[in-house]
Structure 1
C-alpha cells in the first residue's frame, strides 16, 4: 500500500483563490496544461504577485474510455488576481478534503490515487463527484506539485499532494 499503507488524512480547507488555465487533453497530452505553469508564475510575478502555495492540476472531467480529460493548471494566490487572455481567476472551494502525499515519480500516482479511492469507499465517505454518460465531473480534485522542477529535475524525488474534495 504505497508508503507503509498509512491512511489518507481528511483536512478542512478554506476557499483558495488562484489563477488558472483550462484545456481538454488526453492522457498523453498533459504538457498542454503542464507547460503553462511556469508562464502563469512569471505572469503573476510581473504583476507583483507570488504563488501562495504549490501549483496544481485540477481535474474537472475525466472520461477514461474516450481518453478525454478537462484539466486546469493553477497557481494559488494570496489575494484574488484578475485574469487575462485565457488565464482566469477562480477559487478552489472550501470544504473537507481527503489528502495523501506522494514522494516519487508522477507516473506512480495512478497507484496512489487507486488506494485513496479504495480507502474513501471503505470508510463510507462520498467524494464530490458525479458521473454522467461515462464522464466523471469532479467538484475539486487536485494534484499539488510541491517540487520546483528547476531545483529538482529528477522526477523520482518529487513531492506531490493529492486533495480530493468530499461532498
Structure 2
C-alpha cells in the first residue's frame, strides 16, 4: 500500500528575512532551462571547496522573463551564512535573496504541472489585491524575487509525479 500524502496547503503570505545563497546565473530559453538546472552540482562543488553546505533545497530564481524568448535565471542553493569573494571561473557567485513578504505555495506533482499551478497562483493573488515585486520593462518582466525551490531529491524519489516544489514570489512593499 502506498502511503498517502496530506493534501497541499493553500497559498499563504509569509514574511522572510534576507537569505544568503550561491548560484550560477545564465540567460536561457525555456527549452534550455533544464541545461542550467543540470549545472546545480557545480554550485555544490563551489561550496565544498569552501567547506560549506547548503542550508536548504536547490532553487531556480527567475530574474527576467521575456515571454517565450529568453529567461535570466539563477540556479543555486541557500546558505546559512553569507559568503565573501568573487565569482568563480565557472560563474558561481554569492548573493542575498531579499527580505520581505512572499506568497508561498507547495506543489506536489510533476514539474511539468508548474506552469498551470503558477497561473492559478497569479489569479489567487490578483483576487486578493496582492501586487508582485515586478517591473515590466521593454526587455521583459523583472522580478524582485521569484523562486522555485525543489524540495524533492530525484536520487531518492526518481518518479517525478510526487515531487514537491515550493513557489516563493516576493510581493511589492
- Asked whether the two chains share a fold, i.e. TM above 0.5, the reply is yes
SS of residue paired to 1:164 = strand
Q: Distance in 2 between matches of 1:54 and 1:4?
A: 21
Q: Distance in 1 between matches of 2:51 and 2:164?
A: 27
Aligned-residue CA RMSD in angstroms? 1.7
Change (3 A) 1:5 1:114: farther
Q: Which whole-Å deviations, capped at 9, do the CAs of 1:31-62 have from their partners, x for residues lacking one?
A: 23101112212331232211101110000000
Matched, 1:10 2:13: yes
Q: 2:119 aligns with which of 104, 111, 114?
A: 114
Q: Distance in 1 between matches of 2:40 and 2:139?
A: 29
Alignment of structure 1 residues 54-133 onto 2, 5 Å: 54-65=57-68, 67-81=69-83, 82=85, 83-85=87-89, 86-133=91-138
Deviation at 1:4, TM superposition (A): 7.4
Residue segments in structure 2 that go unaligned for 5+ positions in a row:
1-5
Q: Distance in 1 between matches of 2:122 and 2:7?
A: 17
TM-score if structure 1 supplies the norm length?
A: 0.92
Runs of 4+ in structure 1 displaced over 6 angstroms?
none
Q: Which whole-Å deviations, capped at 9, do the CAs of 1:101-159 have from their partners, x for residues lacking one?
A: 00111100011101110011000011000111261000000000011111111111211
Q: 1:144 aligns with which of 145, 149, 161?
A: 149
SS of residue paired to 1:45 = helix
Q: Which whole-Å deviations, capped at 9, do the CAs of 1:65-101 have from their partners, x for residues lacking one?
A: 5x21111101111111234221111000000000000
Cα contact 1:63–1:134 (8 A) shared by 2 = yes
The aligned counterpart of 1:158 is 163
Residue segments in structure 1 that go unaligned for 5+ positions in a row:
none
Q: Distance in 2 between matches of 1:4 and 1:156?
A: 15
Greater CA drift, 35-44 or 103-112: 35-44
Aligned residues: 164
Q: Distance in 1 between matches of 2:42 and 2:139?
A: 33
Q: Distance in 2 between matches of 1:157 and 1:45?
A: 29
TM-score if structure 2 supplies the norm length?
A: 0.89
Change (3 A) 1:120 1:134: farther
